[in-house]
Amino acid sequence: MAHFTLPDPSSLERVAYLVGFPIAHSLSPLLHHTIYSSIGKPWGQRLYETRDLNEFLQHMRKDQKFLGSSVTMPYKVAIIPHLDELTPEGEAIGAINTLFIRNDESGRRRYCGTNTDCIGIREAFLQNVSDDSVYRGKPALVVGGGGTARAAVYALQNYLGCSPIYMVNRDESEVRAVIDECNARGFGKDIIHVSTVAQAEQLRAPGAVVSAVPDFAPVSEEEKIARQVLAVFLRTQEKGALLEMCYHPSPKTEIAGLATNLGWQVIIGTEAVRNPCHWRFGFHFAKYDQECLETAQIHHTPPLTFSRATSAIFILRIF
């Protein structure tokens, strides 16, 4: 069952959602409200906190006011088989964080997915690291094996010029799935699963690290080994920048604290979702009047660009 009572949407013209678990801490509805109010639209966003993805999908397809949805853990990969199409980024990465609607020629809804995590990760480094030689042309490290890790691999290779990509994770099967999927999509070369301290000690230090795991103290043997491997990389003489994608319940995570104490520049995860360039790409497509589109255009630089298939307006995507 959903872990919230759906508010009465009768006062809203359109409704967006954030689906995931846990998400009760999210400020996304407040931020959406701010954006919608600024352009004079009676729209809103609601949290759909659930452990049952099918429940959300059934609700989504019945809701005639449905505008789109932000998608966060643990559904960034699981939701893909239920969608009609993916954007090139979503297809390449194999995980999505934004769901939007397009109508086909007959007027039937088509549910589409895209991935803006890769843009957010890119901009977090570009906007916060003054000298890109810190990471460009050097190895990078991704901690984790989920949807965000896939986006991190894509961004580090395709946007930030990092190679090879090391992966550290407690679950070897998750890493293998990421590598296999990335290979199938054409950007899996030079991904190395680093599974032991001895292996890490023989590798060149990374210049960029993306941590994409929840904030918890390692308990199992696999978790302890993964944390030890990460510590080896962070203790190397050459330091770089670490993006901590976890910021709930606090951006001051164990991994961020370890990196800070060892002399790394730490970029908190909110940088990956608040950057204007990330907002630009975090949109849901909707039929919309040109006057309102132009109103939004005034407030954002560089100019927003949209598919010619529909008029559209962006929605701030934050989870």
* Amino acid 33: pLDDT: 86
Are 229 and 122 in a shared domain?
yes
* Amino acid 315: pLDDT: 39
Q: Is residue 174 part of a domain?
A: yes
Are 262 and 293 in a shared domain?
no
Residue labelled with tokens 């799935």: 177
pTM across the whole model = 0.77
C-alpha–C-alpha distance, residues 156 and 139, integer Å: 9
* Amino acid 139: pLDDT: 98
Are 130 and 142 in a shared domain?
yes
Q: Is residue 2 part of a domain?
A: no
Are 112 and 63 in a shared domain?
yes
C-alpha–C-alpha distance, residues 233 and 140, integer Å: 10
Count of structural domains, the chain: 2
Are 260 and 126 in a shared domain?
yes
Q: Kindly list the averaged pLDDT for each block of 10 residues, start to end, along the chain of length 319.
A: 59 90 85 86 91 94 91 92 94 91 91 92 95 97 94 94 97 94 86 98 98 93 97 97 88 94 94 53 39 38 32 36
Q: Is residue 201 part of a domain?
A: yes
Are 211 and 156 in a shared domain?
yes
Are 127 and 259 in a shared domain?
yes
Q: Is residue 277 part of a domain?
A: no
Give the domain range for residue 61.
Answer: 9-116+282-314
In DSSP notation, the chain reads -BSSPPP-GGG-SEEEEEEESS-TT--HHHHHHHHHHHTT--EEEEEEEBS-HHHHHHHHHH-TTEEEEEE-TT-TTTTGGG-SEE-HHHHHHT--SEEEEEE-TTS-EEEEEE--HHHHHHHHHHHH-S-GGGTTTS-EEEE--SHHHHHHHHHHHHTS---SEEEE-S-HHHHHHHHHHHHHTT--TTEEE--SHHHHHTSPPPSEEEE-S------SHHHHHHHHHHHHHHTSSS--EEEE---SS-S--HHHHHHHHTT-EEEETTHHHHSHHHHHH-EE-----HHHHHHHHHT-SSPP---TTS--EE-----
- Considering only CA atoms, which of 102, 34, 98, 107 is closest in space to residue 288? 102
Q: Is residue 4 part of a domain?
A: no
* Amino acid 299: pLDDT: 36
Task: Provide the CATH number for the domain around residue 103.
Answer: 3.40.50.10860
Are 266 and 305 in a shared domain?
no
Are 199 and 100 in a shared domain?
no
Are 109 and 142 in a shared domain?
no
* Amino acid 274: pLDDT: 64
Amino acid identity for residue 45 in this structure: Q
- Considering only CA atoms, which of 120, 178, 112 is closest in space to residue 145? 178
* Amino acid 132: pLDDT: 96
Task: Provide the CATH number for the domain around residue 158.
Answer: 3.40.50.720
**pLDDT tens, 98-123?**
999 998 999 899 999 999 989 899 99
Q: Is residue 1 part of a domain?
A: no
103 - beta bridge partners? 109
Q: Is residue 130 part of a domain?
A: yes
Q: Is residue 3 part of a domain?
A: no
- 304, 296 contact by CB (below 8 A): yes
* Amino acid 195: pLDDT: 97
Are 122 and 224 in a shared domain?
yes
Are 190 and 73 in a shared domain?
no
* Amino acid 290: pLDDT: 38
